[in-house]
């Protein structure tokens, strides 16, 4: 399937989703500098894990996405955009917490998350 395809129907959309789902997943995501992991861990446990779970795999029942196995740069940019209220689809409860963070705290929480690996198994409970 060529890159840049335009989805003209539900079927096209389904085909693209199946194509992306079948792509091999590269686990060597870009990781952060690892300089402030203890700060990031504390912030994560206090403010994030109630929704994204302790291992970052999220909760299907609440539509809380998995947030591990992602590039450090992507996490930083998304979390910064939430803090600046530029990521408009973000959950207000999450934005409320993140917008209180200092720039150092935004980096620390991204740094903590970036080396965490995608879970090997998907348990049915979540």
To ligand HEC, the closest distance from the beta carbon of 36 in angstroms equals 14
To ligand HEC, the closest distance from the beta carbon of 70 in angstroms equals 6
Which is closer to ligand HEC, CB of 6 or CB of 34?
34
Which is closer to ligand HEC, CB of 8 or CB of 97?
97
What would the 3-class secondary structure string for the chain be? CCCCCCCCCHHHHHHHHHHHHCCCCCCCCCCCCCCCHHHHHHHHHHHCHHHHCCCCCCEHHHCECCCCCCCHHHHHHHHHHHHCCCCCCCCHHHHHHHCCCCHHHHHHHHHHHCCCCCCCCCCCCC
125: exposed, middle or buried (Cβ count in 10 Å: 0-12, 13-18, 19+): exposed
- Residue ranges in contact with ligand HEC by CB under 6 A: 47-48, 50-52, 63-65, 67, 75, 78-79, 89-91, 93-94, 97-98, 109
To ligand HEC, the closest distance from the beta carbon of 29 in angstroms equals 12
Which is closer to ligand HEC, CB of 14 or CB of 73?
73
Question: What is the distance, to the nearest Å, from the Cα of residue 39 to the centroid of all Cα atoms in its chain?
Answer: 18
To ligand HEC, the closest distance from the beta carbon of 2 in angstroms equals 25
Which is closer to ligand HEC, CB of 13 or CB of 93?
93
């Amino acid at each position: 399937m060529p890159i840049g395809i335009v989805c003209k129907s539900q079927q096209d959309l389904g085909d693209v989703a199946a194509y992306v789902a079948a792509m091999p997943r590269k686990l060597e995501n870009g990781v952060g500098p690892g300089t402030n992991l203890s700060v990031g861990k504390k912030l994560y446990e206090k403010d994030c894990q109630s929704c994204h779970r302790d291992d970052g795999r999220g909760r299907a029942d609440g539509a809380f996405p998995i947030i591990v196995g992602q590039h450090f740069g992507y996490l930083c940019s998304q979390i910064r955009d939430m803090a600046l209220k530029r990521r408009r689809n973000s959950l207000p409860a999450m934005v409320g917490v993140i917008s209180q963070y200092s720039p150092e705290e935004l980096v620390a929480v991204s740094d903590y998350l970036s080396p965490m690996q995608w879970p090997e198994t998907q348990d049915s409970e979540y």
